[in-house]
Amino acid sequence: MDGFHLARQLEIDAPIEDVWAALATPDRLFSWLAPAVPDGELRQDEHGKLTIHMPWSVVDFLQIDTAEPPHRLRLRNLPDETRTITFTLAEEAGRTRVLVEVSGALPAGDSGADRLDLSGLGWDMTLPNLKAAAEGAPLPMPFAGTGPLFGYWRQFSDGYGVERSIFIDASREAVWNALVDPAHIQAWFSPTTPWQRSALEVGGRIFVTNEETGEEMYVQVFETLDRPREYAARTLPETADSPTYVTRYLLDDEGSGTRLTLIYTGYQSSDDGHHWPEMEHTTYGFGLMLQNIKAQLGGTALVMPGGF
Residue 1 binned pLDDT confidence (cut-offs 50, 70, 90): very low
Domains and CATH numbers, the chain: 2-147 (3.30.530.20), 156-298 (3.30.530.20)
Within 8 A by CB and 6+ apart from 10, the residues are 97, 98, 100, 127, 128, 130, 131
User: Of residues 239 and 103, which shows the higher confidence score?
Assistant: 103
- Whole-angstrom distance, CA of residue 95 vs CA of residue 89: 10
How many CA atoms lie less than 13 Å away from 261 in the CB half-sphere? 18
Q: How far is CA 197 from CA 5, 116, 175, 184, 292, in A?
A: 42, 38, 17, 12, 21
Residues 17, 119, 160, 200: is their CA dihedral positive or negative?
Answer: negative
Q: State the DSSP string of the chain.
A: -EEEEEEEEEEESS-HHHHHHHHHSHHHHHHHHSTT-TT-EEEE-TT-EEEEE-SS-EEEEEEEEEEETTTEEEEEETTT--EEEEEEEEEETTEEEEEEEEEEEE-TT---HHHHHHHHHHHHHHHHHHHHHHHT---S-S---SGGGGT-EEEETTEEEEEEEEEESS-HHHHHHHHH-HHHHHHHH-TTS--EES-SSTT-EEEEE-TTT--EEEEEEEEEEETTTEEEEEEPPSSTTS---EEEEEEEEETTEEEEEEEEEEEPP-SS-TTHHHHHHHHHHHHHHHHHHHHHHHT---SSTT--
Of the chain, the percentage scoring pLDDT greater than 90 comes to 84
Mean pLDDT of 150-178: 95
Mean pLDDT of the chain: 94
Nearest to residue 263, comparing CAs of 165, 178, 158, 169? Answer: 165
Say which residues have a Cβ less than 8 Å from residue 226's Cβ, sequence separation at least 6.
Answer: none
Q: How confident is the model at residue 269 (pLDDT cuts 50, 70, 90)?
A: low
**158 CA to centre of own chain:** 21
* Terminal-to-terminal C-alpha distance of the chain: 33
pLDDT for 48 beyond 70: yes
276 band by pLDDT with thresholds 50, 70 and 90:
confident
Residues 137, 145: Cα–Cα separation, whole Å: 20
What would the pLDDT profile of 240-260 be if each residue is shown by its tens digit?
787 889 999 999 999 999 999
Put simply, whether the predicted model's pTM sits higher than 0.85 gets the answer: yes
Q: How confident is the model at residue 181 (pLDDT cuts 50, 70, 90)?
A: very high
Contact 205, 219 (CB under 8 A): yes
Q: Render pLDDT for 117-146 as a digit per residue (tens, 0 to 9).
A: 999 999 999 999 999 999 999 999 988 789
Angle ∠(142,145,150) on CA atoms, nearest 5: 140
Which amino acid belongs to residue 158? D
Kindly state the average pLDDT of the residues 205-226: 96
108: pLDDT confidence band, cut at 50, 70 and 90? confident
For 283-305, write each residue's pLDDT tens digit: 999 999 999 999 999 999 999 99
CA 150 from centre of chain: 8
Model pLDDT for residues 54-99, shown as the tens digit of each residue = 988 899 999 999 999 999 999 999 999 999 999 999 999 999 999 9
Q: Which amino acid is at 161?
A: G
Sign of CA dihedral 175, 176, 179, 181: negative
